[in-house]
């Protein structure tokens, strides 16, 4: 992903997460802090999907639509902030290879796990991709701010 992709990312995000609005600044901020974890999928010059991941703390999740001054000290997990496709491109097997590529890179970089907050009833999707739901009472309040169906999920990456 590059800065010129951000308008397209915002467009796809608005379609993919109608109940979890995040503004351009939030995406620009992640791209500035961890460009190596930000990817855009382009079709005929148009951004039609994106994936954003960055170092975070296991058992914790960032607040929605909030800028970060810096990545957390002592990060011990790669946090998958968003994976989204334009609706017209879903169901064609594009998401699985994107996640598997991220898993490969995370292993190479030595991350012990990838975490995420599943929304949009996507828990089943993430299970198919090797993620497990983790119940952690310390996360209950934060998860509630993501909506009723939000689930904290982790895919461990044993060496
Ligand atoms: C989530 C999303 C990226 C998946 O894209 P996709 O094109 O359907 O994904 P794929 O076609 O690569 O499917 C991967 C696998 O997940 C399965 N799958 C897709 N959506 C699913 C769902 N909601 N529940 C269970 N399984 C699902 C597919 O059948 C496929 O299984 P297989 O590889 O074993 O055959 C897309 O639906 C999207 O952009 N949704 C809106 C944004 C969103 O909700 N992102 C995740 C929230 S955290």
pLDDT digits (tens, 9 = 90+) for 84-116: 999 999 999 999 999 999 999 999 999 999 999
Work out the pLDDT band at 15, boundaries 50, 70, 90.
very high
**Model pLDDT, residue 105:** 97
Q: Which domain holds residue 68?
A: 3-156
DSSP-H helix ranges across 34-131: 95-108, 123-128
Alpha-carbon distance 98 to 100, whole Å? 6
Residues 133 and 150 sit within 8 Å (Cβ to Cβ)? no
Count structural domains, the chain: 1
pLDDT > 90? residue 159:
no
Indicate which atom in ligand 1 lies nearest the CA of residue 95.
Answer: 12
Mean pLDDT of the chain: 97
Query: Any idea what the CATH number is for the domain that residue 65 is in?
Result: 3.40.630.30
- Provide the pairing of β-strand 77-85 with 113-118: parallel
Whether ligand 1 lies within 6 angstroms of the CB of 88 is answered as: no
Indicate which atom in ligand 1 lies nearest the CA of residue 98.
Answer: 12
**Model pLDDT, residue 139:** 93
The mean per-residue pLDDT over the stretch 124-139 comes to 96
Whether ligand 1 lies within 6 angstroms of the CB of 125 is answered as: yes
> Which tokens go with 25?
């600044």
Alpha-carbon distance 104 to 141, whole Å? 32
- Look up the pTM and report it: 0.97
């Amino acid at each position: 992903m590059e800065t010129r992709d951000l308008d397209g990312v915002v467009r796809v995000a608005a379609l993919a997460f109608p109940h979890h609005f995040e503004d351009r600044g939030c995406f620009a901020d992640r791209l500035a802090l961890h460009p190596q974890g930000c990817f855009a999928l382009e079709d005929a010059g148009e951004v039609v999907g994106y994936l954003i991941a960055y170092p975070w703390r296991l058992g914790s999740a960032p607040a929605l639509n909030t800028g970060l001054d810096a990545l957390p000290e002592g990060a011990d997990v790669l946090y998958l902030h968003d994976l989204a496709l334009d609706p017209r491109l879903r169901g064609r097997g594009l998401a699985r290879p994107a996640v598997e590529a991220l898993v490969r890179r995370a292993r190479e970089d030595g991350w012990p796990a990838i975490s995420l907050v599943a929304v949009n009833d996507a828990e089943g999707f993430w299970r198919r991709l090797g993620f497990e739901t983790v119940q952690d009472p310390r996360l209950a309040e934060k998860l509630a701010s993501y909506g009723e169906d939000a689930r904290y999920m982790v895919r461990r990456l044993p060496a």
